[in-house]
Structure 1
Amino acid sequence: MKKLIAPLLALPLLAAPALAEPLLWGFQAEQFEYRERDGEDGFAWDFDLFVGRDEGKFVWRSEGEMGLSSGDYEGLDNQLLYQFPISPFFDGVAGVHASTPNGEPDRYNAVLGARGLAPQWFEIDAGLYLSDHPYMQVEVEYEGLLTNRLILVPSLEVTMPLKDDAARNQGAGGATVEVGARLSYDLIDRAVAPYVGFSYEKSFGDTGDMLRAAGEETDEFSLVFGTRLMF
């Protein structure tokens, strides 16, 4: 693991930007939402905080979900990434990832990936997570403008374990797929945009079999109410 992480942390030194270029920073929360569902309702978030320059920036990405009654983190993932351009429409990312939910063993990974705009303006975020329990993850979003302020955002996220992780009920090749759609309204330009929508998650293959054997559900449907933030 150390052999993987050390070269990644050295990337900023190899791509040091010109000192004269202005320093940029920003915050973007794609999800900041209440989830209503059967069982315990939850609060979920997915945000990026970045600082750097056009030629390279550091990104802290946090994604997770907390049960509102128990206060337990059902998911808690944090990434520290270095992001750099690799084409006019895509950036490469490299860094480290920590997954530390309550009730499950912690997992730490090196991350290699890419994010950007595919043809027809689909937003793509793809990553390979390398450790003793490797997996791949791909997220796809599309912003459909119904009016200048009313926007429909369908989304798809696929997580594919590459090796069995019995402690987390993850089976190699058993994908977990999450689909959703959120209808938002821009109150203040793109800075504040409340939304409503839904999220549906289902696990397949060996992952689904492991969850059933552990007495857990293999799918979950949620109504969501939240706000997209950007500044």
Structure 2
Amino acid sequence: MNGMHMPIFESSSGHLQHKPKAKASSTAKAGGNHGMDMSTMQGVSAPFAARSSDYSDGYGYGPMPGMEMPDNPVIAMLLLDRLEYVHARDGGNGVAIDGEAWYGKNFNKLWLKFEGEHADGQLQDLRAEALWSHAIATYWNTQLGVRHDFGVGPERTWAAFGIEGLAPWWFQTEATLYVGPSGRTAARVSVEYEGRLTQRLILQPELEANAYGKNDPRRGIGSGLSDARAGLRLRYEIRREFAPYVGVEWLQRFAQTADFARAQGQSAGDLRWVVGFRIWY
């Protein structure tokens, strides 16, 4: 009602009592939590006894050690990108493998790469490489090491230097140059892409080409562009670490390499169906 003041009550020992209104200044001096004026805190120096959060004043850590998170750990991985049965149109059925393993830290790693094929009861070809990999950019590494070729014909050893990484639009790219005894040179380029159709279904196209500086008839290799392989594989990731797949691949030999193949009863080009699995650990 106008002109009337309502008394303020509080409960104390079960009795209702009138409570006089306290002044704001006395409340602030009393250190109450309500009604404090914080405006005077701006620009005021901290009390002498206040501690800096950046200075421990001689106090060390307690008995529990502090947490540590290494930003450059030692890590390792083994990847069998292709372990497959190959059904060739010309009848050269066999087993093929393509994989790699690496061990090291973020900037420097030891890489092992291998790719080969076993058919007609014998090892046809196997390329094995041991490389030191050094990061030069966010997605790119240089690789320096040695390559050794096994299989039909005499074994060959090469010094290897290349670059490997993730090109724009997520193309995994490798380009390597090789130098061997007797003036032998070679080059290898491969590009692959992983198109994720669903969370578990991945379509993987791949293209690889090899070139050599001189003829090597004992291994069935001609100079220039020797061979190229284009493949398309569809895999289903039962688990991220394990994925069976099916696919198709076209192998094409060129120039003198094609002539060497024909002399052995093989065709210059061959369509091959593959089934296998991809596994990593």
TM-score (norm 2): 0.71
Equivalent residue runs for 1:94-109 within 5 Å? 94-101=144-151, 103-109=152-158
- The alignment's C-alpha RMSD in Å is 1.7
- 1: distance between equivalents of 2:196 and 2:92? 33
Aligned-partner SS, 2:73? coil
Q: Identity, % of aligned pairs?
A: 33
Change beyond 3 A, Cα 1:39–1:213: closer
Match of 2:108 among 31, 47, 56: 56
Match of 1:86 among 112, 136, 141: 136
Match of 1:173 among 202, 224, 227: 224
Contact 1:161 1:172 (8 Å CA) reproduced: yes
Question: Could you list the per-position Cα deviations for residues 173-210 of structure 1 after superposition, in whole angstroms to 9, with x for gaps in the alignment?
Answer: 13301000000011112x11110001111111222233
Aligned-partner SS, 1:40? coil
- The answer for the alignment partner of 2:179 in structure 1 is 130
- 2: distance between equivalents of 1:20 and 1:203? 47
- The answer for the alignment partner of 1:66 in structure 2 is 118
**Which structure would you say has the larger RCO, counting Cα contacts within 8 Å and 6 or more residues apart?**
1
Report deviation, 1:22.
Answer: 2.1
- 2: distance between equivalents of 1:136 and 1:86? 21
Change beyond 3 A, Cα 1:35–1:214: closer
Report deviation, 1:166.
Answer: 2.1
Aligned-partner SS, 1:216? coil
Structure 1 range deviating more: 195-204 or 170-179? 170-179
- 2: distance between equivalents of 1:77 and 1:87? 27
Report deviation, 1:135.
Answer: 0.9
Contact 1:177 1:201 (8 Å CA) reproduced: yes
- 2: distance between equivalents of 1:64 and 1:212? 21
Report deviation, 1:213.
Answer: 3.9
- 1: distance between equivalents of 2:71 and 2:165? 26
Which amino acid is the alignment partner of residue 106 of structure 1?
Answer: E
- 2: distance between equivalents of 1:98 and 1:25? 23
Contact 1:122 1:142 (8 Å CA) reproduced: yes
- 1: distance between equivalents of 2:258 and 2:118? 22
1:164 and 2:252 matched: no
Q: Which has the higher strand share?
A: 1
- The answer for the alignment partner of 2:31 in structure 1 is none
Match of 2:252 among 191, 202, 205: 202
- The answer for the alignment partner of 1:32 in structure 2 is 83
TM-score (norm 1): 0.85
Which amino acid is the alignment partner of residue 94 of structure 2?
Answer: G
The 4+ residue runs of structure 1 with deviation greater than 6 A are none
- The answer for the alignment partner of 1:3 in structure 2 is none
Report deviation, 1:20.
Answer: 8.7
Report deviation, 1:214.
Answer: 4.5
- 1: distance between equivalents of 2:225 and 2:265? 17
Question: Could you list the per-position Cα deviations for residues 127-184 of structure 1 after superposition, in whole angstroms to 9, with x for gaps in the alignment?
Answer: 1111132110001101111111111000000001122212222222133010000000
- 2: distance between equivalents of 1:86 and 1:22? 18
1:42 and 2:94 matched: yes
Question: Could you list the per-position Cα deviations for residues 31-73 of structure 1 after superposition, in whole angstroms to 9, with x for gaps in the alignment?
Answer: 1111112323211111111111111011111111112x51x11
- The answer for the alignment partner of 1:11 in structure 2 is none
Which amino acid is the alignment partner of residue 210 of structure 1?
Answer: F
Question: Could you list the per-position Cα deviations for residues 76-117 of structure 1 after superposition, in whole angstroms to 9, with x for gaps in the alignment?
Answer: 11111111111111111110011010x311110000001111
Aligned-partner SS, 1:39? coil
